[in-house]
């Protein structure tokens, strides 16, 4: 009996013992599977974080613009939230949009054209002086104004690219010189610009002046240039490092000179359009565009394609800034608020543009 029971117990034990590891393996497998599922779920949830961060980085300014519109609309529903107010915002600042877009190729190539506002002022004064004071037909008047911008662009390119003087020094001096030239040409404000030019710039289509659509077309063209053409990539490449770009066979000096000429020519076109929008010419108007244009260009480089000057970013920045100023002026902050808003925006925009550029360079964005 003892042997029998012992044998039976051993038999039972031998039967049960192998089952324990199997039970343990099964539990371990279940726990491992559950852990894997939890880790996968955490990875899935975490994968949205970079996506959301990237979207906030790219479209944060656009979202801020929309929020600003909502806030002003709530605070000033009968003044801000009107069709006439939005027509004024989009139409009146279209010339600033065109001027800002003209700066982008030069900025992308690493050059600063501080003379652009001066070119705009001279072009504006020439239109009034030739067309109104001397009775020139509007077509040759416009051609002379644009030719003046071309000459200034070539001079800037000569001193900056060939002689090797820093672009800030050259264009700052040129802009100051042009402000004096504008007053020297005609120190009085004149009205009565040709109706042909006025109609060309200010005729309304769907409630917006034609000048807005010209700015929109230029935005699309520059977006295509930067995004889909070799020239656009070369501009960024030259701006990132001239020596490296030169070693790869890019004609660096030609691109730098061309971008400066484009900036001046577009600035001259902006002056012509401004004459058509205003129907008059004032020699003191040009310099007031310098700060808003650069604030918009740098603020635009913090959105859509952060760290790079880009067309749609500038489009959004121009109207974000104008919307902010318009709302504040409607709230009673008039006179000084425009300079404070543009100046502060430029400082903040340069800071964030630099940070975005560093992220793009290090690959952390």
pTM: 0.82
- Which residues are CB-contacts of 123 (< 8 A; sequence separation ≥ 6)? 145, 146, 148, 149, 267, 268, 269, 270, 271, 272, 275
Closest by CA to 130, choosing from 121, 117, 139, is 139
Q: Is residue 114 part of a domain?
A: yes
Return the CATH number at 319.
Answer: 1.10.3470
Angle between helices 83-92 and 311-330 (to 10 degrees): 130
The one-digit pLDDT tens for each residue of the chain (365 residues) are 445 444 444 444 444 444 444 444 554 555 555 555 555 554 554 566 666 666 767 788 888 889 889 998 899 888 888 888 888 889 889 999 999 999 999 999 999 999 999 999 999 999 999 999 999 999 999 999 999 999 999 999 999 999 999 999 999 999 999 999 999 999 999 999 999 999 999 999 998 999 999 999 999 999 999 999 999 999 999 999 999 999 999 999 999 999 999 999 999 999 999 999 999 999 999 999 999 999 999 989 988 888 899 999 999 999 999 998 888 888 888 767 777 777 877 777 677 666 665 665 555 44
pLDDT of amino acid 32:
55
Domain assignment present for 330: yes
CA distance 246 to 238: 8
For the chain, the domain total comes to 1
In a domain, 48, yes or no: no
CA R_g for the chain: 31
Q: Where are the alpha helices (DSSP H) in 17-159?
A: 19-46, 48-75, 83-92, 94-108, 116-128, 138-157
Residue 19, domain member (yes or no): no
Confirm whether 49 is domain-assigned: no
Rounded Cα–Cα distance for residues 216 and 314 (Å) = 11
Cβ neighbour number for residue 270 with a 10 Å cutoff: 32
DSSP state of 160: I
The pLDDT of residue 61 is 83
Residue 77 within a domain = yes
What lies within 8 Å, CB to CB, of 113 at 6+ separation is: 103, 106, 156, 167, 171, 260, 263, 264, 267
- For residue 285 the two structure tokens come to 């108007």
In a domain, 209, yes or no: yes
Q: Which domain holds residue 286?
A: 62-362
For residue 335, tell me if it sits in a domain.
yes
Whole-angstrom CA distances from 305 to 248, 292, 365 are 24, 20, 11
Number of alpha helices (DSSP H) and beta strands (DSSP E) in the chain: 16, 4
Query: What is the model's pLDDT at position 52?
Result: 66
């Amino acid at each position: 009996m003892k042997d029998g029971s012992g044998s039976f117990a051993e038999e039972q034990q031998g039967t049960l013992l192998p089952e324990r590891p199997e039970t343990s393996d099964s539990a371990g497998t279940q726990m491992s599977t559950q852990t894997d599922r939890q880790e996968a779920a955490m990875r899935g949830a975490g994968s949205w974080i970079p996506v959301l961060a990237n979207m906030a980085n790219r479209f944060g300014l656009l979202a801020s613009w929309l929020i600003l519109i909502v806030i002003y609309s709530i605070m000033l529903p009968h003044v801000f939230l009107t069709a006439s107010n939005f027509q004024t915002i989009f139409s009146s600042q279209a010339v600033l949009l065109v001027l800002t877009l003209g700066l982008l190729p030069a900025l992308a190539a690493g050059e600063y054209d501080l003379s652009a506002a001066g070119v705009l002022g001279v072009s504006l004064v020439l239109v009034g002086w030739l067309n109104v004071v001397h009775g020139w037909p509007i077509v040759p008047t416009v051609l002379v104004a644009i030719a003046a911008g071309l000459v200034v662009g070539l001079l800037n390119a000569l001193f900056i690219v060939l002689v090797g003087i820093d672009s800030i020094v050259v264009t700052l001096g040129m802009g100051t010189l042009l402000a004096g030239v504008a007053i020297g040409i005609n120190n009085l404000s004149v009205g009565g610009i040709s109706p042909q030019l006025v109609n060309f710039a200010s005729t309304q289509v769907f409630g917006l002046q034609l000048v807005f659509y010209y700015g929109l077309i230029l935005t699309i063209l520059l977006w295509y240039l930067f995004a889909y053409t070799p020239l656009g990539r070369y501009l960024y490449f030259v701006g990132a490092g001239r020596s490296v770009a030169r070693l790869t066979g890019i004609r660096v000096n030609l691109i730098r000179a061309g971008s400066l000429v484009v900036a001046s020519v577009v600035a001259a076109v902006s002056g012509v359009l401004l004459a058509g929008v205003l129907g008059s010419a004032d020699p003191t108007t040009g310099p007031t565009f310098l700060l808003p244009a650069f604030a918009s260009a740098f603020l635009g480089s913090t959105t859509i394609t952060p760290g790079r000057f880009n067309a749609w970013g500038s489009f959004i920045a121009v109207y974000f800034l104008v919307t902010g100023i318009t709302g504040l002026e409607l709230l009673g902050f008039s006179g000084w608020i425009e300079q404070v808003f543009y100046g502060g925006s430029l400082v903040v925009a340069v800071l964030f543009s630099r940070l975005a550029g560093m992220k793009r360079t290090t690959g952390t964005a």
